[in-house]
């Protein structure tokens, strides 16, 4: 008998990674300032098993550079590259990276991967975990590389035009000349020719390449031609390696192992101590840019991660939410950094609220009775000309809003939006033609406003005022004009508020519908306020009419049955 021969298993990616030799990591560190912090970061990389080549900007004082060299003299894995003067947005940063990478490869020929960092980059995980991660992916190049013609990668800058225009002026030191020359080239339709074989790509300047790919880029026989071209590309450190890596790689993962995020103006986010838990949960290997005085972060990291695979998408989501919050804002919150254009707000107010127009005049005692039957803060006339009538007669309202009419009138819109935003309870207040009318359009175009209107209710206090008729006539003319202006807003196509309307004659014929609508019930509780006494209203209106006024929108007091609204007939279908 013959023994069965075992079927050989197909090796998996994990098996191949386990058989592969451990990666040897080299770090290219670019330092421009704060050398004390950069020294501390270099020691972390070196003690973790990486060989570190440091480039210090030639504009850094020699004394600071000498102190850095002396401090790191005991680190055999640290070396220093020739210094260049670097300027943001120019080829000097690429040249510094080239020089430092060549010095690194010459000093340690056994390296398998090279990572670029800055002196402000903080390792979030032990260097050993990064080496283990790279050992499992020996042929992968981790470099963000997106096609400039297909994807709008740049934030607040140029995409494909950075490869086709000329930039003889410094963006930071000669911004006016920079912008004018770019506009001139666009107007004259001038452009540079992209070299044959170069497909422009963009990405983060913080990458991790295999030595094979990096060596191929540095020793490319066309390098001199590529360097001449990229010397006149804007911000070439975001395109040089990202473009040429595509020519030589065995496989690119278009992502950076360094967590580096940018805001809406293209400036890097700065991480502080209160970002510690978020950075730990991300599982990323390196973070940039760390605030130099964030001692909590420098003491907490590097530390082992719970997952082997870095996940920057969680931070991406948080940052996207923060960006959206900054651009759009919270509904009803107005702030200096995001003051909206007219009609471009993210909601005029933060929550629904109720305005009772004329109900306090049509139902005496309503303001005192209503708080016991609704879950809301029931105020009087918040926009009364004599002062703010907060609920309970308080001098200060929610959020310590002042009851002063002068203070309120400095910013009526801010007063209303603050009142609604500072408390979770629904706000309800009275309004009438006697109040300040500055917010009529604002409230009428606010979807959060629920408005109950009784037109003509302004006449009830005048009917029982006992004032001389000439004074009554003048007051009636003003109040009616104001009410008609307000009703024109409610009849406009721009109305967004939820409006329920009655006239004064309808209240005299049937006083229940407004209260039932307000309480959203057909069974009114006991003690509901009775409507105002309208005895003599017909004669009062006739006297105003004979005096030259034309009372409108008040209903027909001669025939109360005509004032009542017809019953709603539901569609049987």
CA 449 from centroid of its chain's CA atoms: 26
What is the predicted pLDDT for the residue at 19?
Answer: 57
What is the predicted pLDDT for the residue at 569?
Answer: 38
Q: Are 118 and 268 within 8 A, CB to CB?
A: no
CA distance 24 to 77: 12
List of residues 6+ apart from 272 with CB closer than 8 A: 291, 294, 297
Pairing mode of beta strands 51-56, 78-80: parallel
Q: For the domain made up of 24-327, give the CATH fold.
A: Spore Coat Polysaccharide Biosynthesis Protein SpsA; Chain A (3.90.550)
CA distance 206 to 95: 15
What is the predicted pLDDT for the residue at 471?
Answer: 92
What is the predicted pLDDT for the residue at 7?
Answer: 38
CA 274 from centroid of its chain's CA atoms: 19
pLDDT along the chain (573 residues), means of 10: 38 48 94 94 96 97 96 95 94 97 96 96 95 94 90 65 91 92 94 91 94 97 95 94 95 91 76 90 89 92 82 76 76 74 80 95 92 93 94 90 94 94 93 95 95 94 91 93 95 94 90 92 86 90 87 71 48 39
Q: What's the burial of 344, exposed, middle or buried (CB within 10 Å: 0-12/13-18/19+)? A: exposed
- Nearest residue to 213 via CA among 141, 304, 297: 141
User: What is the rounded (10 degree) CA torsion for 89, 94, 97, 102?
Assistant: -170
Give ∠ CA 399-404-408 in degrees, rounded to 5.
70
Q: Are 375 and 425 within 8 A, CB to CB?
A: yes
495: left (phi over 0), alpha (psi -120 to 50) or beta: beta
Identify any residues that bridge with 451 across adjacent strands, giving them in sequence order.
Answer: 355, 499
| Domain ranges across the chain | 24-327, 353-563
- H or E element in which residue 14 lies: helix 13-19
CA distance 176 to 170: 9
Sequential DSSP letters for 505-554: HHHHH--HHHHHHHHT-SSPPTTPPPPP--TTHHHHHHHHHHTT----SS
Distances from the Cα of 511 to the Cα of 31, 359, 361, 429, 548, angstroms: 79, 11, 13, 20, 30
What is the predicted pLDDT for the residue at 568?
Answer: 39
CA distance 496 to 448: 8
Q: How many CA atoms lie within 13 A of 276 on its CB side?
A: 12
């Amino acid at each position: 008998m013959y023994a069965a021969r075992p079927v050989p298993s197909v090796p998996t990616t994990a098996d191949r990674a386990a058989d592969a030799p451990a990666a040897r990591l080299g770090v290219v560190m670019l330092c421009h300032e704060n050398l004390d912090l950069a020294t501390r970061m270099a020691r972390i990389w070196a003690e973790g098993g990486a060989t570190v080549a440091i480039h210090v900007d030639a504009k850094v004082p020699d004394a600071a550079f000498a102190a850095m060299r002396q401090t790191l003299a005991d680190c055999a894995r640290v070396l220093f590259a020739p210094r260049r003067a670097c300027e943001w947005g120019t080829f000097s940063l690429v040249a510094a990276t080239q020089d430092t990478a060549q010095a690194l490869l010459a000093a340690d020929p056994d390296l398998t991967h090279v990572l670029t960092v800055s002196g402000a980059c903080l390792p979030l995980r032990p260097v050993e975990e990064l080496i283990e991660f790279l050992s499992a992916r020996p042929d992968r190049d981790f470099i963000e590389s997106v096609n400039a013609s297909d994807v709008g990668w740049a934030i607040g800058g140029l995409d494909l035009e950075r490869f086709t225009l000329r930039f003889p002026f410094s963006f930071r030191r000669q911004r006016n000349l920079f912008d004018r020359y770019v506009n001139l080239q666009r107007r004259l339709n001038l452009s540079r020719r992209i070299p044959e074989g170069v497909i422009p790509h963009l990405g983060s300047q913080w990458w991790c390449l295999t030595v094979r790919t990096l060596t191929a880029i540095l020793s490319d026989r066309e390098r001199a031609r590529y360097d001449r071209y990229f010397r006149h590309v804007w911000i070439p450190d975001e395109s040089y390696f990202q473009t040429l890596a595509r020519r030589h790689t065995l496989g690119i993962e278009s992502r950076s192992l360094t967590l580096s995020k940018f805001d809406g103006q293209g400036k890097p986010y700065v991480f502080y101590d209160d970002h510690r838990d978020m950075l730990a949960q991300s599982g990323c290997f390196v973070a940039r840019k760390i605030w130099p005085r964030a001692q909590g972060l420098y003491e907490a990291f590097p530390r082992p991660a719970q997952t082997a695979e870095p996940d920057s998408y969680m931070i991406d989501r948080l940052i996207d939410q923060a960006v959206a919050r900054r651009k759009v804002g919270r509904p009803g919150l107005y702030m200096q950094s995001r003051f909206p254009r007219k009609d471009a707000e993210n909601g005029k107010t933060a929550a629904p609220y109720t305005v009772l127009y004329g109900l306090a005049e049509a139902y005496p005692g309503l303001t005192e009775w209503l708080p016991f039957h609704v879950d809301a803060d029931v105020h009087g006339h918040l926009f009364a000309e004599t002062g703010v009538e907060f609920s309970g007669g308080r001098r200060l309202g929610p959020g310590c809003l002042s009851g002063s009419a002068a203070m309120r009138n400095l910013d009526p819109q801010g007063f209303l939006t603050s009142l609604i935003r500072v408390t979770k309870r629904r706000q309800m207040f009275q309004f009438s033609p006697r109040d300040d009318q500055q917010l009529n359009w604002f409230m009428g175009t606010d979807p959060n406003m629920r408005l109950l209107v009784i037109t003509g209710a302004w006449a009830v206090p005048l009917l029982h005022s006992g004032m001389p008729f000439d004074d009554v006539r003048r007051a009636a003319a003003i109040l009616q004009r104001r009410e008609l202006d307000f009703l024109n807003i409610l009849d406009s196509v721009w109305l967004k508020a939820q409006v329920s309307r009655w006239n004064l004659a309808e209240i005299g014929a049937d006083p229940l519908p407004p209260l039932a609508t307000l309480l959203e019930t057909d069974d009114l509780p006991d003690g509901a306020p009775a409507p105002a006494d309208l005895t003599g209203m017909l004669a009062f209106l006739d006297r105003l009419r004979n005096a030259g006024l034309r009372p409108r929108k008040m209903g027909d007091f001669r025939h109360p049955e005509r004032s009542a609204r017809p019953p709603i007939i539901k569609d049987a279908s």
